[in-house]
Amino acid sequence: MNHLSRISLLLVTSWLCVAALGGCSGKDEAPLFLESNRKGGEAEAPVKDVPGDILSTQRAFSNVSKKVTPSVVNISTISRKKIIQPFFEANPLFEDFFGAPQTRRDKSLGSGFLISRDGYIVTNDHVVRDAESIQVKLSNDKVYEAKVVGGDHKTDIAVIKINAADLPVAVLGDSDKLEVGQWAIAIGNPFGLDRTMTVGVISATGRSNMGIETYENFIQTDASINPGNSGGPLLNVYGEVIGINTAIVAAGQGIGFAIPISMAKPIFAQLIQKGNVSRGYMGVTIQPVTEDLAQSFGLKQAKGALVNDVIKGGPADKAGIRQGDIITALNGSEVRDPSHLQRLVAEAGIGKIAKISIFRDGRTLELGITLASADSAPKQQKRGERSRRQGEGEADLLGLTVENAEGGGGVAVVDAERGGIAAEAGIKRGDVIVSINNKRTATTAEYARAIQQAGRSGRLTILVRRGDASIYFALRLK
């Protein structure tokens, strides 16, 4: 077969193959994929009847995102931090030889939300603290330089400001009416992922004693909160801000904390008005009421805050509050523990008369107290170290060796026997016992009589002075 014939044969073969392929395509051929008839295709959705409540919930979440996301901002900061040189930095000649300490520029991300059309933004204080520059990115991708209006370390709330107008504003809700199990929606900038929305529930309210801030009353939620969410809003299904996302538990998933918006509003209002925060002050030191202390004082429940010292001339002193009183309520709010009382006092208002309930000598009393500004609180002065001598004699029934305190006013503990009743309760060498069962104990003779008399009931409430602090201890005689 010559060359021309071979070319002719190839062309004929190719034509036959194309014809064959064309003949293979017909109406009965299976499509490459199925497309829903909800999008113009021919296939029906796998699930035809979706429950109406699920569709309603889905629409609610979508509506929240559409309505609220424009008021949520992304915050990026640059700060300069000192590079620590642990060995050389301690040497006073370090800067003479090597110059000023080196620093590094740190970048961080956070979130916030607009509360005014002219550019006031609420966020966390730790997001913008010590920042050299702050940039705010809006939902329309416009970027603005921001300045700090004011920040409060004790609640971790800050306000920043951008120069803009006609901005979308978040609507603030009522966090005091939250219930466990309600929907919670977080919008923020986790890991730099713009305007991420996560959904969960309110896991708990009133979380305190977390060691995160000075004043704590956190909302706990399992809506995913990650680094970068800090300062962003926690929302309800109405799209109202109910909290400021603040912290996470690094060791656990689904545990995030937000500052209740009802607690935050007076804080950022003061920051906008004057750049700082003023809080109420009572003039007492307080401690928790344990089960043993509650029984010792005749209180039915271990709640409230036990007053272990009253500052002379302070608001509490003027109101008639005494050492040994248990504060059970303030302005009608039941006091759970000392941290709760601190928050109630801080929020009660300066110069206003507050109604305070105390438990004293087996009965409840109502007093009026005019709260002062915490800025006017006297600074505690450290007492000089007392000189102590090792006492002679054996430990007593409580496992203590005592002597008259120098200058009078109590009995000094010169030794606390390990494993003794007092040591087990927390009394230490160097403490000064000033009262037993609410009776002043000025000398070792009075101390011995008090111990002997208390032996009949088997219970002791001992007030000790430790440095600048007064502490109550409840003891049970074995």
Q: Which residues pair with 221 in a beta bridge?
A: 202, 256
Task: Please confirm, yes or no, whether 126 is among the known catalytic residues.
Answer: yes
Backbone angles phi and psi of 399, in degrees to 5: 85, 20
> Both tokens of residue 370?
């005019």
Catalytic residue among 76, 203, 208, 230: 230
Q: Are 110 and 131 in contact (CB under 8 A)?
A: no
Nearest residue to 448 via CA among 395, 383, 392:
395
Catalytic residue among 111, 126, 208, 296: 126
Distance between CA atoms of residues 29 and 22, nearest Å: 12
Q: Which residues pair with 207 in a beta bridge?
A: 218
Distances (CA, A) of 107 to 102, 189, 192, 245: 17, 14, 12, 20
> Both tokens of residue 129?
């603290």
Distances (CA, A) of 152 to 74, 157, 188, 278, 288: 20, 5, 21, 10, 26
Nearest residue to 186 via CA among 228, 216, 229, 219:
229
Residue 38 C-alpha from the chain's centroid = 47
Nearest residue to 160 via CA among 107, 215, 108, 118:
118
Task: Please confirm, yes or no, whether 230 is among the known catalytic residues.
Answer: yes
Radius of gyration of the chain (CA): 34
Backbone angles phi and psi of 198, in degrees to 5: -130, 155
> Both tokens of residue 440?
């002043």
Residue 417 C-alpha from the chain's centroid = 39
Catalytic residue among 125, 156, 292, 415: 156
* Residues constituting the chain: 478
Distance between CA atoms of residues 25 and 9, nearest Å: 25
Parallel, antiparallel or unpaired: strands 353-360 and 326-330: antiparallel
Handedness of CA 292, 444, 285, 423 (dihedral sign): negative
Residue 36 C-alpha from the chain's centroid = 48
Task: Please confirm, yes or no, whether 337 is among the known catalytic residues.
Answer: no
Backbone angles phi and psi of 303, in degrees to 5: -135, 165
Q: Are 356 and 319 in contact (CB under 8 A)?
A: yes
Instruction: Measure CA of the first residue to CA of the last residue in the chain; give whole Å.
Output: 120
Alpha helices in 51-129 (DSSP H): 52-68, 94-98, 125-128
By annotation, the residues acting in catalysis are 126, 156, 230
